[in-house]
Amino acid sequence: MIRVQRETFDVGAEIAGLCAGDTAAGGVCVFIGRVREFAHGAALQAMTLEHYPGMTERQLQALEAEAQRRWLLEKTLIIHRYGRLLPGEPIVLVITAAGHREAAFDACRFLIDCLKTTAPFWKAEETAAGSRWVDACAADDAATLGWQDGAAEGGS
């Protein structure tokens, strides 16, 4: 399931909703991305995320389908916010549920690594010195490339 939304989310409620009535998932892995207090040595006042509606959801759905192809997953949930967010606020939630923990962990990491580099989101950081658009991060690119060679795939 994919949701791109402006409003915040309740992590506990999202986990409970995804897992309700599901007794096949022995492992549930959760990743929460939040706005940091500092970035590039400067205190953040806010972060603004923009996206391309329609294209963003399609890309996230493609990533979700790829995770379900690679691992035996019971359920997945990706929520990504957009708009102006303050330090400490949640940006993204990825939940994977699988029969075994290894698949849940691997799929969750795959989804967050790949959405960081392939989903069409643009990020601006506001500091006391002004606002600036954030460039892609080489470490994020490297993490995504690691999944492309198939070596990081799991199947449990």
CATH at 55: 3.90.1170.40
* Domain-embedded: residue 154: no
**Percentage of the chain modeled with pLDDT above 70:** 95
* Domain-embedded: residue 131: yes
**Closest-CA residue to 32 (of 101, 64, 78):** 78
**Percentage of the chain modeled with pLDDT above 90:** 77
Q: What is the mean pLDDT of residues 82-92?
A: 97
Instruction: Output the pLDDT for position 150.
Output: 59
Site of tokens 């923990």:
101
Please tell me the pTM assigned to this model.
0.90
Please give the backbone phi and psi of residue 96, each rounded to the nearest 5 degrees, phi first.
-125, 135
Q: Count up the domains in the chain and report the number.
A: 1
Instruction: Output the pLDDT for position 151.
Output: 46
Instruction: Output the pLDDT for position 113.
Output: 94
C-alpha to C-alpha distance for 151 and 70, rounded to whole angstroms? 12
List the domain range (segments joined by +) for residue 143: 2-148
